[in-house]
Amino acid sequence: MRKPLIAANWKMNKTIGEALTFAGTFGQKLFERFEGGHIPVDVLICPPFLGIPALCAVFAGKPVYIGAQNMYWEDKGAFTGEVSAPMLKHTGCSFVIVGHSERRQLFGETDEHVAKKARAALDHGLKPVICVGETLEQREQGNTHKVVSEQIRAAFSQIKPEEVPSVVVAYEPVWAIGTGKEAKPEDAADVIRGIRETVDTMLGQGVSEELRVLYGGSVKPANIRSFMLEEQIDGALVGGASLDPEDFFKLVETAHKTKG
Ligand code: PGA
């Protein structure tokens, strides 16, 4: 069984103080709800780099994972402005988002960069959350499956079958991100089925059964249930609706109720 995962991608939002305020409210709700400390859903928060140490300290020993939104693939050296996998691991991160469409579109990340980052993350004990997804133009041209499959092939080119349980894929159609226009759950499930087929073709039949695949793009409390009802969808990567602690808690609670 794949454990559901609800992940917050805060993007470039929240100062350290604001992150701590969020953590106080969210943590209180979460730990009151799940007394005894066992949460049947993996909860991940990815703040900007600066917020990572504070959140790691607040949630130390608690079942809330902290991750980064990006990293560089080299361990150290003359790479001004970059942060490496060992640095993130040492600070207490468990996950790192790689290849988010904003990184691909605004910062020139290529499939090759994404593959290197995913590889470096795994080498240092971080679970990569590999983002893939088509643009509106690509969808309208009927190329969704082709585009996503190429992104998956590149990202998984240096990943071994036994590492797949430590990998997360987030299928995020670019046209659904931050637009309020979510994909149809059955369409997302169909693309995710294709993602699993691609991984099985590359790494061996059945390998993808242990691959967690999230949907992302305008997920909010009002629509998360319809995504969680799809057997193919193991959770959500959430931008806008993850910034509010009450909303983020509702997402975790609904995922638990739907998948539990
Ligand atoms: P959104 O962002 O939930 O605001 O659409 C999702 C994402 O970019 O991961």
Q: Does the beta carbon of 30 lie inside 6 Å of ligand 1? A: no
**Which pLDDT does position 145 carry in this prediction?**
98
Pocket lining: 242 vs ligand 1, CB cutoff 6 Å: no
The confidence score (pLDDT) of residue 225 equals 98
The answer to whether 172 touches 237, Cβ cutoff 8 Å, is yes
Which amino acid would we find at residue 109? Answer: E
pLDDT tens-digit map of 15-24 = 999 999 999 9
Which amino acid, residue 120?
A: A
Give the closest residue (by CA) to ligand 1 atom 3: 239
Read off the pLDDT of residues 15-71 as tens digits, 9 standing for 90 and up: 999 999 999 999 999 999 988 778 899 999 999 999 999 999 999 999 999 999 999
Q: What is the pTM of this model?
A: 0.98
Query: What are 67's strand-pairing partners?
Result: 95
100 neighbors 131 (Cβ within 8 angstroms) = yes
Residue 83's pLDDT band, with cuts at 50, 70 and 90, is very high
**Closest C-alpha among 126, 70, 120 to residue 98:** 70
Strand-pair partners of 43 = 6
> For this structure, is 209 an active site residue?
no
Task: Give catalytic status of residue 113 as yes or no.
Answer: no
Q: Which atom of ligand 1 is nearest to the CA of 97?
A: 9
Contact 195, 172 (CB under 8 A): no
Which ranges constitute the DSSP H helices of 66-125?
A: 85-91, 101-106, 111-123
Type of residue at 71: M
Atom of ligand 1 nearest to the CA of 240: 4
| Tokens of residue 252, six digits | 């975790």
Question: Among residues of the chain, what percentage have pLDDT more than 70?
Answer: 100
Q: Going from the N-terminus, what domains does the chain have, and what CATH number goes with each?
A: 5-259 (3.20.20.70)
User: Does the Cβ of 172 fall within 6 Å of ligand 1?
Assistant: yes
pLDDT tens across 147-189, in order? 999 999 999 999 999 999 999 999 999 999 999 999 999 999 9
Flag whether pLDDT at 95 surpasses 90.
yes
Q: Tell whether ligand 1 has an atom less than 6 A from the beta carbon of residue 178.
A: yes
